[in-house]
Each structure stands twice: as C-alpha cells, then as structure tokens.
Amino acid sequence: MFLRSQFFNVFGTHRRITGVGRDLMRSSSPVYPTIGHTGYAHWKGQVLNSDELHELYEGLKLNKVNQYDYVLTGYTRDTSFLAMVVDIVQELKQQNSNLVYVCDPVMGDKWNGEGSMYVPKDLLPVYRDKVVPVADIITPNQFEAELLTGRKIYTEKDALEVMDMLHAMGPETVVITSSDLQAPLGNDYLIALGSYRKTNADGTKITQRIRMESPKVDAAFVGTGDLFAAMLLAWTHKHPNNLKVACEKTVSAMQHVLQRTIKSAKAQAGEGNKPNSANLELRMVQSKKDIENPEIIVKATVL
C-alpha cells in the first residue's frame, strides 16, 4: 500500500500486514517458523538464535540485498538475539541514515491492575539501554513503558511525563498502545496515548501529543500488538509529521479488524459458547480494504 521500499521484518510479523501486493514489501526474514502461537495449548517449531540471525543477515549482505528503509521488531525471549538486532540496526542506519526502526518492546502486560512480565527479566536492561536508544518509534503498553522508565503511571499527566522520559532515551515517536487509565468516555473504552517530538535542523522543536479512546472488545486476541506496530509504521510513513492522523488510521483499522474477528469468532463458536484461539485468529485478509483505507471511527484528541 505505502511501503515502496525494502522492509526488514526481524521477527516475522506478516509482511503483507498492510494488505498490499507482494512486491511492495520486498524482504522479510521469518525468525519464528512455528505452527500456531502461544495463545494455543500447543505450538511447535523452532526459535532461531543470535548466531542463526547473524548468518541470515550475512547472507543478505553477501548478495547485496541488505538495503532497507524500515526495520520492525517485536516479541523475543533471548538477550543475545536482541543485542544482535541492535548491531544489525546500527549497521543498516550507517548505510541509510533515514532508516526508520520501529520497536514493539514486548515484555509483559497488566491483568486486573497487576503487571507481570512474560519474557525473562534480563531482557529489560537490553531494551532500556541498547534497543530503545536506536529506535525511532516505540509502541509499549503502559506496563512496558513503566518498566522502561522505572516510573508508575497513575494519571494522564504521569503518562505524558513517562513519554517525555522515553523521548529522552532516543525515539522521536512514542505510542502507549493501551493503559488502565480512566477514559473520559467511560469504562467501556481503552485509552492510548501518543507523543511525537522532533528537533529541526534550525533548532526549533515540533511536539504533538494525542489521546485516543477506543471501544473495548471482550476477548483475548493474539497478534494485536504486531498488527498495531505494523500499521503504525505504514501510516507514519504516509503521514510522517502528523501523529494524529497516523494514529487515527491505525486505531480505526484495528477496530475494524477486531470487530470483524469477534463477530466471526462468535458465529464459529456457536451461541452460548466461548470462542477459542482458533476462532479468534485475526481476520486480516478479510479486512484488507479496512487496513488499506480505514474509515475513521476513532478520533484522536490533541493534548
């Protein structure tokens, strides 16, 4: 749809997540060749280690196909693998100073108000000290933002200050994708917050801050973080200086996908039955048009 350039997707998120033709995102390195995902009771496959990632990248270099404009990373459980990603990103940025690195620092989440990590704890200092400083866009949830900064978020003011702390670590764009903050529209809505800060060549600064309230969907989906990060990459490419529009399109597309998914899942499960993981697989192919050109159903408030 938008990314007419090379796209290095380190963690194997669907390379056509923006619903486009095969030739627009020309490269992807699938690092998690698995059947199923951790939402299922059973899943099988291999997880590549840092040496194997290095070997893959060396192959790209030998064939001179390692010129990229975008890098997107997500879930991993290995510190050495994550450190290798940093080395690769730094090398790619030396070749292309305009390369945009989007990092979803997947570490954990909150359940019933209590945060918990679902990756090894030794990943936190690697994300905080090595990964975030080289990232251009990061998409933590509230718990992950708290982990990265060591500061708790109780109010919107706290969240804005935490995003300032994350900006100071390196990224120009910070989006807290979900939070347990009270939404002005009520308890049935989920708050996301975004902040964009850029210093121009003349020293002037551009700052944008937004809040978004999207309807909650009562289901446990897997892959929503991947989808959010990939679409935010696409829409910030299309609207590089307008975080409000990029987030409105990202979150609206998310809502279209989730609503279509839950409707289909309930129909598959049957009346009175709870949808299972297979029922709740995101309906991305069926949502192609909504991903490509979403009707804006979630508006952002400028803060």
Q: Which residues are catalytic?
A: 226
| Token code pair at residue 192 | 């996301």
Residue 219 and residue 275 in contact, taking contact as beta carbons nearer than 8 Å: yes
What's the CA dihedral at 136, 282, 183, 274 to 10 degrees?
-150
Two tokens, residue 298? 């979630």
Q: 243-269 and 224-238 helices cross at what angle (nearest 10)?
A: 150
Two structure tokens written together for 20: 């486009």
Distance between CA 185 and CA 217 in Å, rounded?
A: 15
Q: How far apart are CA 151 and CA 206, in angstroms?
A: 25
